[in-house]
């Protein structure tokens, strides 16, 4: 007889950072944790790098956990900063990787500049301490914040952003950022699906429509910083503009003072619709 009993809902998390950017866990650790908590699929979405993907895929080989290659690119239109997620990118493509190397080189110079500014205002941290925490992959402000916490200069990572390195604070230095259209194109050109990350954090909501005009494919509806009302709102935005829905916790391991993996409940069918969009992109 056909089994009509309800199947248990399966969940995914399509926004996770590893120690290849500013997460605290290695890709293998992320994979094992995701498997332990029973997730069906995850995406590794490190800032401006795809270097953690291979390790994650290898670690998941014998597990019933799907790994979706991903990335989170920073973009700036001159007045607004935003993050664009890319899924199913051709992460081994040399041209794509060469463009990412330019972004990570700039991050290195910028981290040096932030440390110099901190030293000038009497906050004594050493660039090497930041680089030790950063380890492999891209360096960012989270590593600087963690270095400050480790030295007891601040009690939390958040305090470091609030007092010193948040946008507009005394030790802030901007990094080179792609224009939004460039970020979307970079993802498209490497065969990926582009998704605006945590739109709830955008100061100007009209940005979403501008991104759609630039070829955006989807919107991150489910996110740690989205309350139920925001989720409802962005589901309507997605439906109105025929955008695919995405979601994830934006887990940084213990980097954001607490572990978020799996805390945002994203149903597996979100991924099924994303796969359809990806297949259509490939054939268009």
| Residue 109 vs residues 24, 123, 262: alpha-carbon distances, Å | 22, 19, 34
DSSP conformation class of 246? E
Residue among 178, 187, 197, 208 that touches Fe ion (CB under 5 A): 197
CB closer to ligand AMP out of 48 and 217: 48
Residue among 26, 34, 41, 83 that touches Fe ion (CB under 5 A): 83
In DSSP notation, 83-118 reads EEEEES--TT-HHHHHHHHHHHHHHHHHHHHHHHHH
Sort strands 218-223 and 193-196 into parallel, antiparallel or unpaired. Answer: parallel
Partners of 190 in beta bridges: none
Report, in Å, the least distance between residue 176 CB and Fe ion. Answer: 17
Whether the Cβ atoms of residue 273 and residue 45 lie closer than 8 Å to each other: no
177 binds Fe ion (CB under 5 A): no
Contact string (CB under 5 A) for Zn ion, positions 235-254, x = contact: ---------------x----
Contact string (CB under 5 A) for Fe ion, positions 22-51, x = contact: x-----------------------------
Residue 138 CB partners (closer than 8 Å, separation 6+): 20, 21, 22, 46, 47, 48, 49, 103, 104, 107
The pair of structure tokens assigned to 214 is: 């630039």
Q: Which does 141 bind (CB under 5 to 8 A by kind): Fe ion, ligand AMP, Zn ion, none?
A: ligand AMP
Report, in Å, the least distance between residue 45 CB and ligand AMP. Answer: 11
Identify which range of 17-25, 101-109, 129-137, 160-168 contacts Fe ion by CB under 5 A. 17-25
Q: Which does 220 bind (CB under 5 to 8 A by kind): Zn ion, ligand AMP, Fe ion, none?
A: none
CB closer to ligand AMP out of 142 and 219: 142
The pair of structure tokens assigned to 68 is: 């979706």
The pair of structure tokens assigned to 51 is: 């270097």
Q: Which does 161 bind (CB under 5 to 8 A by kind): Zn ion, Fe ion, ligand AMP, none?
A: ligand AMP
Phi-psi region of 242 (alpha: psi -120 to 50; beta: other; left: phi over 0): left
Calculate Rg over the CA atoms of the chain. Answer: 19
- List of residues contacting ligand AMP (CB under 6 A): 22, 47, 74, 140-142, 158, 161, 166
Residue 23 CB partners (closer than 8 Å, separation 6+): 16, 17, 30, 46, 251, 252, 253, 255
Binding footprint of Fe ion, residue count (CB under 5 A): 3
Instruction: Name the closest residue to ligand AMP (Cβ).
Output: 140
Report, in Å, the least distance between residue 46 CB and Zn ion. Answer: 8
Q: Which does 46 bind (CB under 5 to 8 A by kind): Fe ion, Zn ion, ligand AMP, none?
A: none
DSSP conformation class of 252? B
Instruction: Name the closest residue to Fe ion (Cβ).
Output: 83
Contacts with Zn ion, residue ranges (CB under 5 A): 72, 250
């Amino acid at each position: 007889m056909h089994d009509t009993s309800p199947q248990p809902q399966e969940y995914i998390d399509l926004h996770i950072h590893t120690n290849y950017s500013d997460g605290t866990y290695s890709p293998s650790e992320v994979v094992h944790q995701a498997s332990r908590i029973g997730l069906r699929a995850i995406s590794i979405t490190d800032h401006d790098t795809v270097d953690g993907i291979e390790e994650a895929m290898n670690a998941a080989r014998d597990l019933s956990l799907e790994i979706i290659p991903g990335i989170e690119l920073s973009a700036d239109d001159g007045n607004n900063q935003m993050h664009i997620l890319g899924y199913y990118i051709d992460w081994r493509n040399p041209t794509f990787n060469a463009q990412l190397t330019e972004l990570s080189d700039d991050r290195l110079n910028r981290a040096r500049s932030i440390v110099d500014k901190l030293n000038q205002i009497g906050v004594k941290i050493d660039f090497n301490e930041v680089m030790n925490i950063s380890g492999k992959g891209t360096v960012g402000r989270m590593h600087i914040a963690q270095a400050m916490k480790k030295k007891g200069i601040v009690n939390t990572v958040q305090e470091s952003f609030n007092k010193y390195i948040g946008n507009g604070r005394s030790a802030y230095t901007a990094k080179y950022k792609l224009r939004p259209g460039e970020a979307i194109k970079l993802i498209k050109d490497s065969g990926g699906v582009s998704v605006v990350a945590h739109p709830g954090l955008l100061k100007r909501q009209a940005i979403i429509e501008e991104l759609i005009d630039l070829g955006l494919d989807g919107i991150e509806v489910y996110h740690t910083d989205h309350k139920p009302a925001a989720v409802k709102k962005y589901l309507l935005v997605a439906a109105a503009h025929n955008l695919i829905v995405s979601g994830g916790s934006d887990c940084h391991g213990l980097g954001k003072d607490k572990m978020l993996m799996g805390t945002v409940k994203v149903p597996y069918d979100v991924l099924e619709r994303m796969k359809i969009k990806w297949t259509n992109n490939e054939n268009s």
